[in-house]
Structure 1
Amino acid sequence: MTAVSDAPPWTRRVGVFDLETTGVDVETDRIVSAHVGLLDGDGREIVSKTWLVDPGVDIPEGATAIHGITTEHARRNGRPSVLAVTEIIAALRALLTQGVPVVAYNASYDFSLLAHEARRCGIVPLLDPQPIIDPLVIDKAYDRYRPGKRTLAVVAALYAVTLDAAHDASADAVAAGRIAQALARQFALPERLTDLHTRQIGWARSQAASLTEYFIRVGRLDPEERLDGSWPVRSPRVQGDSQSR
């Protein structure tokens, strides 16, 4: 890899967003915790808000094993979903309205699940949020043939970004933002956020098509099945993708 000398101006103020949930189905699973923040050009978080949410359903033991939040803790200390989702969407809209890009790792998962939660709560969802930056999509586009996993922890280590508490919404969100800034220093990413957002739409579609072909070849999908490559919000009736969570 050859590093570029100057990062685009948008790296000086970067919003970050992450969810921890009851599972990986974007349509039916619920938010358990969320984080929205703002990083400066050095990756320091200068504004932050974290939500603990009572999802209104039991949190499966498998999900608790990942993020550490039990049903009892969420019910006792969490905000009701309708209030939390309202506040999360308002925080994201405030950043996007100012033209601040929001970074989310595997963005189509978080934004799709948030959209379904909004509908359940009777809240207007973020159907076409932009500008969004997805380090997973960008890393795949610029280092396509690198072998191995592309989880947040693996990619953070690759770009020398510290991730001390994986699957904590705050830690994951901040790490994703710093990875985005590292990618901008490493590669010649578009300077205009509109260009970067549009390119990610195409990259995500191509990556989903390539992964579909691979899954059909190894028997994980039937020949008539297709992974949804829409980004940053997936089409309805598409399962969550846990491979990069």
Structure 2
Amino acid sequence: MMKLQLTRPIAFIDLETTGVNISTDRIVEIAIVKILTDGTQQVKRKLINPMIPIPKASSDIHGITDEMVKDAPTFKEAANELKQFMDNCDMGGYNSNRFDVPMLIEEFLRIGMEFSIEGRKLVDVQKVFHMMEQRTLSAAYKFYCQKTLEGAHSAAVDASATWEILEAQVERYPQIGATVESIVKFTGEDDIVDFARRFVKDKGVEVFNFGKHKGKPVTQVLKEEPQYYDWMMKGDFAMNTKQKLTEILNRTLVKKT
């Protein structure tokens, strides 16, 4: 017996894409599982030709290559069928309110087709998960070490508990390795440029991660628009961010001489 009580169908969507930038990336696969009010499931899955190359990094994640989608319909060709399938449905997904739904709406907007979320309920399962399952140090200590953290928020107690948690994680997850280097590599923290994430590395090159220059190499922007450096240095940015920006600028100036 279905536990979820539905007064209208709900369509759970999941997208595979060329990347995670909603304005520039495209859908390469869409799966929709529609649950009717009586619990019956209807499934629709389509590969989509994004009309742009699929980066290898994305193919490595979802397994979809340019070759696999070359004969697939474009989003414009599939849009009407997809829209009709989701007609009169609420929508659900995992992290869908931040990614899948905005990406889907963007694709409809690009082809000039109206896909309104007016009147639809949007259920994001990840949001429920994060709200119900605590992500505190005490909760992690209970989960990994099966012990109650006595004296939480005492710095020494918290730091000691964190060490115990890491020990338990190394034992539980062999894939993260047992060295600091392997764990840092696993979590991706070795590629940090600045801690506010205003810059990130793309193939080893620092690029902007915000604003009008998002995705552009920092060195390129500093050469083409040197006043942008002054704007950032006077702006409300973290000192660490300004420090890294200055380091990149100085490196650029050294290369010129």
- What is the TM-score with the length of structure 1 in the denominator? 0.50
CA deviation string 1:188-213 (max 9, x = no partner): xxxxxxxxxxxxxxxxxxxxxxxxxx
**What's the offset of the Cα at 1:138?**
1.2
- The one-letter code of the counterpart of 1:106 is N
**What's the offset of the Cα at 1:15?**
2.7
Which has the larger Rg? 2
Residue pairs, 1:1-245, within 5 angstroms:
7=3, 9-10=5-6, 14-39=10-35, 46-76=41-71, 78-92=72-86, 94-96=87-89, 101-108=90-97, 109-128=99-118, 130-145=120-135, 218-221=195-198
C-alpha distance 146-13 of structure 1, shift in aligned 2 (>3 A): farther
Instruction: Tell me the distance in 2 between the aligned counterparts of 1:218 and 1:118.
Output: 35
Q: Secondary structure at the match of 2:116?
A: coil
**Conserved 8 A contact 1:35-1:49:** yes
What is the count of residue pairs matched by the alignment?
146
Structure 2: tracts of 5 or more residues without a match: 138-193, 200-211, 215-257
Structure 1: tracts of 5 or more residues without a match: 1-5, 148-216, 223-236, 240-245
C-alpha distance 120-15 of structure 1, shift in aligned 2 (>3 A): closer
Instruction: Tell me the distance in 1 between the aligned counterparts of 2:7 and 2:115.
Output: 26
Percent identical residues? 26
C-alpha distance 121-41 of structure 1, shift in aligned 2 (>3 A): closer
- The one-letter code of the counterpart of 2:120 is Q
Instruction: Tell me the distance in 2 between the aligned counterparts of 1:218 and 1:28.
Output: 25
**What's the offset of the Cα at 1:81?**
1.7
Aligned to 1:228: none
**What's the offset of the Cα at 1:8?**
5.0
CA deviation string 1:40-61 (max 9, x = no partner): 799x872111111111111111
Q: Secondary structure at the match of 1:65?
A: helix
Instruction: Tell me the distance in 2 between the aligned counterparts of 1:138 and 1:221.
Output: 28
Q: Secondary structure at the match of 2:6?
A: helix
Could you say which structure has the greater relative contact order, defined with CA pairs below 8 angstroms and 6 or more residues apart?
Answer: 1
Q: Secondary structure at the match of 1:122?
A: coil
Instruction: Tell me the distance in 1 between the aligned counterparts of 2:84 and 2:128.
Output: 26
- The one-letter code of the counterpart of 1:24 is V
- What is the TM-score with the length of structure 2 in the denominator? 0.48
C-alpha distance 127-31 of structure 1, shift in aligned 2 (>3 A): same
